[in-house]
Amino acid sequence: MGAVERFEELEVWQRARELANLIYDLSDTGLFARDFGLRDQMRRAVVSVMSNIAEGFESRTQGLFIEFLGRAKGSSGELRSQLYIAHDRKYLNQHDFDVAFNLAETCSKQLTRLIQYLNSKPNTSRIKEDEAPYHV
């Protein structure tokens, strides 16, 4: 894994962003759009995936980064569970369910691999920022 300077460069964050946009699109029509509780909870869960990746990347330590990645993985699991409800309620057809579920599962697997990688490199510096001058 090469040096990553911004969370936007992480493939898992890019997949999470794709998943978030998919969930917003799928939950914006028909009966799904009117089930405010499920729709909003799914949107919060999917936004949590990408947000926790970003927040963890920007955190102070590698340990915190790993913690936030774990939270993102948990939100991915939450979303997969909610996809079943949306499918059971006929808000999603089989194709849309499969696409969303597979993308959420891909994010979860990528998060697992990233966590494993970071755990195997406990002293790796992951943030490469130019020195920012400031005045007191």
CATH number at residue 77: 1.20.1440.60
33-42, 99-108, 119-128: which range is least confident on average? 119-128
Confidence check: pLDDT of 103 > 50 = yes
In a domain? residue 22: yes
Confidence class for position 77, pLDDT limits 50, 70, 90: very high
In a domain? residue 99: yes
In whole numbers, what is the pLDDT of the chain averaged over residues?
A: 92
In a domain? residue 129: no
Opening angle at CA 66, ends 16 and 107, nearest 5: 25
Contact 73, 45 (CB under 8 A): no
In a domain? residue 100: yes
In a domain? residue 32: yes
In a domain? residue 107: yes
Helix and strand numbers (H, E) in the chain are 5, 0
Share of residues in the chain with pLDDT > 70 (%): 88
Confidence check: pLDDT of 131 > 60 = no
Residue 128's pLDDT is: 46
**Dist. CA 118–CA 70, nearest whole Å:** 12
The string of pLDDT tens digits covering residues 9-62 is 999 999 999 999 999 999 999 999 999 999 999 999 999 999 999 999 999 899
For the chain, how many structural domains are there in total? Answer: 1
In a domain? residue 94: yes
In a domain? residue 115: yes
